[in-house]
Amino acid sequence: MSILESIASPADLRRLPVERLPELAAEMRTVICDQVSRTGGHLAPNLGVVELTIALHYVFDFAHDRLLFDVGHQCYPHKLLTGRLPMLASLRTRKGMSGFPAPAESPYDLFSVGHAGTGISTAVGMARGDSLLDEAWNPKTNPDGRRVVTLIGDASIVNGVAMEGLNNAGTLTRQFLIVLNDNGMSISHPQGALSQYFDRLRLSHLYADFKRGAHRVLKHVPGGSLLEEAYHKMGEATKAMIAEGAWFEHFGLVTVGPIDGHNIPSLIEFLAEAREFDRPMVLHVKTVKGKGFDFSEGDATAFHSPKPFTVEGCSVEVRSSGRSFTTAAADALIDAMDRDEKVVACTAAMPEGTGLDAVIKRFPDRTWDTGICESHAMDMMAGLAKAGLKPFFAVYCTFLQRAFDQAFQEVSLQELPVRLLLDRAGLVGGDGALHHGFCDVALLRTLPGSCVMAAIDEPSLRAAVEFMRAYEDGLSSVRYPRDSVSDVLVDKHCPAFELGRARLLTEEQRDADAVVLAFGTPAIAALEAVQMLREEYTIEVYDARFAKPIDAALVRSLLTRDTPVITVEDHSLIGGFGAAVLETAQEFSLDTSRVTRLGLPDSWIHQDPRASQLAEAGIDARGIARAIRLAAAAADDQFAPPHKAEHQV
Q: What is the DSSP string of 113-148?
A: --STT-HHHHHHHHHHHHHHTT-B-BTTTBTTSB-E
Please give the helix or strand (H or E) that residue 630 lies within, else none. Answer: helix 621-638
Measuring CA to CA, which residue among 43, 76, 77 is closest to residue 58?
77
* DSSP letter, residue 472: -
CA angle at 463 for the pair 457 and 468, rounded to the nearest 5°:
125
Q: Which residues 6+ apart lie within 8 Å of 337 measured at CB?
A: 343, 344, 345, 359, 362, 363, 366
Distance between CA atoms of 432 and 292, rounded to whole angstroms? 27
What are the CA-CA distances from residue 24 to residues 13, 21, 90 (Å)? 9, 5, 22
* Residue in 84, 279, 402, 424 annotated catalytic: 402
**Active-site residue 312, yes or no?**
no
Question: Could you check whether the bond before residue 459 is cis, i.e. omega within 30 degrees of 0?
Answer: no
Q: What is the DSSP string of 487-531?
A: -TTTTS--PPP-TT--EE-S---TT-SEEEEEESTHHHHHHHHHH
| Ramachandran area for residue 442 (φ above 0: left; ψ -120 to 50: alpha; else beta) | alpha
What are the CA-CA distances from residue 201 to residues 186, 220, 263, 295, 421 (Å)? 17, 21, 19, 27, 36
Packing angle, helices 160-169 and 119-132, rounded to 10: 30
**Active-site residue 374, yes or no?**
yes
Distance between CA atoms of 73 and 482, rounded to whole angstroms? 18
**Active-site residue 366, yes or no?**
no
β-pairing, 315-318 vs 309-312, is antiparallel
Distance between CA atoms of 360 and 355, rounded to whole angstroms? 9
Q: Is 558 exposed, middle or buried (0-12, 13-18, 19+ CB in 10 A)?
A: buried
* Residue in 289, 390, 424, 597 annotated catalytic: 289
Q: Is the dihedral of CA 275, 63, 49, 59 positive or negative?
A: positive
CA angle at 109 for the pair 106 and 113, rounded to the nearest 5°:
130
| Ramachandran area for residue 255 (φ above 0: left; ψ -120 to 50: alpha; else beta) | beta
Q: Which residues 6+ apart lie within 8 Å of 403 measured at CB?
A: 374, 375, 377, 378, 395
Question: Cβ–Cβ contacts within 10 Å for residue 249, how many?
Answer: 23
Q: Which residues 6+ apart lie within 8 Å of 556 measured at CB?
A: 584, 585, 588, 590
Distance between CA atoms of 248 and 333, rounded to whole angstroms? 40
* Residue in 105, 269, 352, 374 annotated catalytic: 374
Beta bridge pairs of residue 367: 345
238-243 CB contacts, 8 Å cutoff, 24+ apart: 238/270, 238/273, 238/274, 238/277, 239/207, 239/210, 239/211, 239/214, 240/204, 240/207, 240/210, 240/211, 241/204, 241/210, 241/270, 242/204, 242/210, 242/211, 242/213, 242/214, 242/217, 243/201, 243/204, 243/284
Where are the strands (E) in 233-286, listed by range? Answer: 254-260, 280-286
State the Cα torsion 73-74-80-81 to the nearest 10°: -130
Enzyme catalytic residues: 289, 374, 402
